[in-house]
A and B are shown apart, each in its own frame.
Chain A
């Protein structure tokens, strides 16, 4: 059962760390924080299929591991396929009585590149086949592990090493791919967005996704101080601002029905979010206005969907 947000308190969270300290993530990495919370939400009865990426690299330099739960890494683009295999393997072995029967959550972890770009096909296949697993995309909006290259999840205007701010081109020229909508288009029972700056909301969503039979997809905005050129101590604040400005709204899509987790009658100006990040340093006021217009339009569309309950 999913706990009620109102009575939920941080202190009820387990003290246990399944993604343990000592890993090599950067200071202020909100992605590592997100995974720590995901693991706390799910407890020890899980098996993780991880894609290649920062979280894989920082957590398992052979012979060390930061994982106190079963963890498996194969390649970059196939976390969803590997998770499909884990889920099927556990299912058939339990059916045949070769391992003890209990609820084990299969969890796939990948970054935005491993999800929205190179892993999209494997993810689509796994969602369509309806495996009982939870897929978590920790979205830090670029290929951070390889040195901050643009992905299809990089927001418009952001400078990366392959979408630099030059004399004729001002950073990323395309808009962020709407990956949650693509996941929802597979008619899966549960899709959500989350951010570790809202830990209780994140935990609640992860628990819900894991408790629902069938595939669940959660996209977690993960502030990356290294790639976003922001101060490590601002990661929580930046996550909050992303939500409060409408840039990364928190919502759920349950059986196709949209629901806003947090609604703001008045969104904060996006400038408050943008000015704290070096990746947007080159943006002119006109460009910021253009971005804000689109953010507001998309936020209204989302609200409409939530209002109509579609």
Chain B
């Protein structure tokens, strides 16, 4: 077993990047991602890591640098939040289409406006369809572990896709948690140096990033879609290998007290831990409530999700973003799409909560479940509301 150390989650993320022996780091500072790059700067400045580190002039360039370095075969890393992600969004789509296995951490923060530095998921939802594999971390250990998992998966020759690790800004990025570190030798075994299929090098010249005329564009999209869908088995394999190494096993959908539960809370990210406290409190009162946490957002684990939730009477889906003028929140949209083909499926009541850093306590989760159960009882089986609006 590795050492267990109390550490701020951002710092643990940076330590993981060091242990993953990343070759090129390129980033631009934005709250709440800053502690990750600050700590990486210290690591590089102290000679603890042999990497090229660049504080560039924008997030757009931060990711662009990573595309250049990754295309030469150098393991590359960047991280950002909110507006920074919006600025680099153009390049996210290109990175995945070029099949460059970059890993990016997003310390999730609300998108302006109004400007807010605090946490929700509206930033990453703006690039939902960018073709990257996307995880949501629940706690610091998840974040640390997933840096290695992400690189091993991304660089797998039958995957070759970039990976986003989402961690909630402040509520996760800035808290101190016990982190179990993995010995370097084990990591080196789990994550050998990246060997690209093609690299930008004069010894074997390749052209990357040509123009697709209408006669071939559709085929490139099909190839990308097949690649991300078929990455699912590799995602599971990678988690399995990681579990065998550390004893920590991860799953696309993780459940808590769901077996006999009539009502399930569905959520992504660090608020799942708060929700589990609410589940315990409700269970103490004899209520039949459980929790389904979505860890893997892309590719969306439709089958696992159905397996985990179909038996329930109702789902209370807590979104951390809103699809304005649309069906409610993006998670609930996916949930409904997953259940649509099932003849008997649970009702889906959807809340958008914890927007722009608004705290959501266990009591709030209980209130949301209370109201959802009443609404559904009264026949409102597909409700959506923004929780906790002060009127």
CB distance from B178 to the nearest CB of A (A): 33
Contacts of A90 in B (CB 8 A): 72, 74, 200-201
With A62-B212, A72-B208, A104-B202 known as contacts, the answer to whether A89 contacts B76 (CB < 8 A) is: yes
Q: How many residues on A have C-beta within 8 angstroms of the other chain's C-beta atoms?
A: 52
C-alpha spacing A72/B209, complex, angstroms: 6
Q: How many residues on B have C-beta within 8 angstroms of the other chain's C-beta atoms?
A: 45
Check B72–A47 contact: CB distance below 8 A.
yes
Proximity bits, A70-102, B CB within 8 Å = 1, else 0: 111111011011111111111111011011100
Query: How many Cβ-Cβ contacts under 8 Å join chain A to chain B?
Result: 173
Q: Does A284 contact B (CB under 8 A)?
A: no
Check B60–A77 contact: CB distance below 8 A.
yes
C-alpha spacing A70/B220, complex, angstroms: 21
Q: Does A69 contact B (CB under 8 A)?
A: yes
Q: Does A122 contact B (CB under 8 A)?
A: yes
Q: Does A302 contact B (CB under 8 A)?
A: no
Q: Does B197 contact A (CB under 8 A)?
A: no
CB distance from B76 to the nearest CB of A (A): 7
Q: Does B160 contact A (CB under 8 A)?
A: no
**Residue in A69, A88, A122 whose beta carbon sits within 8 Å of that of B69 in the complex:** A88
Check B69–A74 contact: CB distance below 8 A.
no
Interface residues in A38-61 by Cβ distance below 8 A to B read 44-47, 49-50, 56-57, 60-61
**Residue in B58, B202, B207 whose beta carbon sits within 8 Å of that of A46 in the complex:** B202
C-alpha spacing A104/B202, complex, angstroms: 8
CB distance from A83 to the nearest CB of B (A): 6
C-alpha spacing A108/B206, complex, angstroms: 16
CB distance from B58 to the nearest CB of A (A): 6
Q: Does B391 contact A (CB under 8 A)?
A: no
CB distance from A81 to the nearest CB of B (A): 4
B residues with a Cβ closer than 8 A to A are 23-24, 26, 50-52, 54, 56-58, 60-61, 64-74, 76, 90-91, 94, 98, 193, 199-203, 205-213, 216, 220
* Sample of 9 further A-B pairs with CB below 8 A, known A74-B91, A81-B61, A89-B71: A70-B206, A74-B67, A75-B91, A85-B66, A88-B24, A89-B52, A89-B74, A92-B24, A92-B51
A residues with a Cβ closer than 8 A to B are 44-47, 49-50, 56-57, 60-65, 67-75, 77-78, 80-93, 95-96, 98-100, 104, 121-122, 124-126, 128-129
